[in-house]
Amino acid sequence: MKHLPLFFDVAGRKVVVVGDSPAADRRAATVLSAGAAVTQVATAEAADFAGAVAAFISTGTEEGDRAAHRVARAAGVPVNVADRPALCDFILPAIVDRDDVVVAVSTGGASPTLATVLRGKIEAALPERISALAALARTFRAQANALISRPADRRAFWRRLVEGPAARLVLAGDIAGARRVVLGELDGARRGDGAPGIAHIVGAGPGDPDLLTLRAAQLLQEADAILHDDLVPPAILARARRDAELVAVGKRKGHVRWAQRDIEAEMIRRVRAGQTVVRLKAGDPFVFGRGGEELQALCDAGLLVAVVPGITAALGIAASVGIPLTDRRHASSVTFLSGHAAAEGGTAGRTHVVYMGASEAASVRDRLLDAGVAATTPVAIVENGTRPDERVSTGSLADLARLATSHHSLGGAGPSLIIVGEVARLATPTAQPLLAKVS
């Protein structure tokens, strides 16, 4: 190890930045984001360093850097000089900054480019809301340490908080749900009970492992058990944690195929036993995937369940073979049908998903009514879908125009999509991308 990695608390302390180059400005901004009192000067004099705990130098010339370095060292202040490792007392690592969670990468000055590439990989691997998880742990730290006296129980509690159901809820944006889970687990830990686990109904995409979502890939690394369809290829199952139990529920069990209700019962049994279960399905779990029934079964059992979308076969294949499904020169709609339904006419049993329709909701309504869709058909307007500010309004087709007006009068200039069909009745009216229920 060439340098000792330390995290230095500079909050409220004086840090000097010498130079007005872009590199100096970047350093000033970084140090400022850690709460330091930054003094930035174009050229340095001894008095500038009085009381400083560190100095960053990037004047743009070698002569200027060396002069500033001499003054800072004479004042006894540790120095970093940009791109001049021989003059550095400490180096500035490549940083992944997610509030409380900070990862620093160094190659000992050998290759800043390698450090940047590694930082990019770590950025991609870290869930977007990892800092919210750290904040959750901070909230319960004192309480948990006071309530759980045995060190082994305490370790198990913390491990479960950062890897278990509460963590999955936080990472999916449901902070309130996560807090409820932690409170339940604190109670259980105090009484010595085992807490239930969580099920994730996950889309595996069309088959190329690189088309897994980041969340799916993370969950494959966390699951205790993966219940998968036979359409999920070995290359994707190879991404699972080495000691995860793989259960092929699409395959024949003896001579009998797993029935849907047996799969649901197996998920419930494992979640009740405290496992993190991934139910891995080809494509997207809600597109011809029976994911809705599994979600319902877990909710009815009062257990935690979350859905992770995947790239449905139609979209994966369209990209793979170069068919732009709604190329505006040729098509303005696309329909996903199951083979059984392909020969059926009419609109009953169809789901229409309308892109770019919210600003012309009255005309969307009229065209669907003209096409024979019943006025009582449920509709859902979903704005900013999957984002923290997701918002859902539900009603019936006859009401669509009024619904769109009232939806937009409450804020919403974000992107929205209209879902029309009996399934729109199932939309949860919350801002959470996660459907979860705590027993």
Give 262 or 366: the residue with its C-beta nearer to ligand SAM.
Answer: 262
We find the least distance from the C-beta atom of residue 289 to ligand SAM, in angstroms, to be 4
Q: Which of 282, 297, 420, 424 binds ligand SAM (CB under 6 A)?
A: 282
Neighbours of 60 (CB within 10 A): 14
We find the least distance from the C-beta atom of residue 173 to ligand SAM, in angstroms, to be 23
We find the least distance from the C-beta atom of residue 240 to ligand SAM, in angstroms, to be 19
Question: Is position 48 annotated as part of the catalytic site?
Answer: no
Active-site hit among 121, 251, 253, 437: 251
> What is the 3 state secondary structure string of 350-400?
CCEEEECCHHHHHHHHHHHHHCCCCCCCEEEEEECCCCCCCEEEEEEHHHH
Parallel, antiparallel, or unpaired: how do β-strands 378-383 and 391-396 relate?
A: antiparallel
First to last CA, the chain: 49
We find the least distance from the C-beta atom of residue 285 to ligand SAM, in angstroms, to be 6
Q: Which of 207, 357, 421, 433 binds ligand SAM (CB under 6 A)?
A: 207
Residues 227-266: x where in contact with ligand SAM by CB under 6 A, - otherwise, as a string: ----x-----------------------------------
- Kindly give the residue spans of alpha helices, DSSP state H, lying in 252-329: 260-272, 291-300, 313-321
Q: Which of 53, 217, 317, 398 binds ligand SAM (CB under 6 A)?
A: 317
Q: Which of 287, 305, 403, 424 binds ligand SAM (CB under 6 A)?
A: 287
Cα separation, 256 vs 259, whole angstroms: 8
Q: Is 309 an interacting residue with respect to ligand SAM (CB under 6 A)? A: no
We find the least distance from the C-beta atom of residue 265 to ligand SAM, in angstroms, to be 20
Active-site hit among 14, 229, 281, 284: 229
Tell me the site size for ligand SAM, rule CB under 6 A.
13
Q: Which of 206, 309, 357, 421 binds ligand SAM (CB under 6 A)?
A: 206
**Measured at CB, which residue is nearest to ligand SAM?**
283
Phi and psi angles of residue 197, each rounded to the nearest 5 degrees, phi first: -95, -145
Give 206 or 433: the residue with its C-beta nearer to ligand SAM.
Answer: 206
We find the least distance from the C-beta atom of residue 215 to ligand SAM, in angstroms, to be 16
Phi and psi angles of residue 309, each rounded to the nearest 5 degrees, phi first: -70, 160
Helix (H) or strand (E) holding 431: none
Question: Is position 100 annotated as part of the catalytic site?
Answer: no
Give 171 or 308: the residue with its C-beta nearer to ligand SAM.
Answer: 308
Residue labelled with tokens 């019962």: 265
Q: Is 312 an interacting residue with respect to ligand SAM (CB under 6 A)? A: yes
* 254 Cβ contact list (under 8 Å, min separation 6): none
Give 287 or 380: the residue with its C-beta nearer to ligand SAM.
Answer: 287
Span of 183-191, 276-284, 342-350, 383-391 interacting with ligand SAM by CB under 6 A: 276-284
* 52 Cβ contact list (under 8 Å, min separation 6): 14, 15, 16, 39, 72, 75, 77
CA 202 to chain centre: 13
Strand order of the β-sheet with 198-203 is 245-248, 225-228, 276-281, 198-203, 304-308
Q: Which tokens belong to 249? A: 């529920």
Q: Is 391 an interacting residue with respect to ligand SAM (CB under 6 A)? A: no
We find the least distance from the C-beta atom of residue 386 to ligand SAM, in angstroms, to be 17
Residue labelled with tokens 């019943």: 374
Span of 121-129, 310-318, 346-354, 380-388 interacting with ligand SAM by CB under 6 A: 310-318
Neighbours of 151 (CB within 10 A): 8
Chain contacts with ligand SAM (rule: CB under 6 A): 206-207, 231, 281-284, 287-289, 312-313, 317
Catalytic center residues:
229, 251
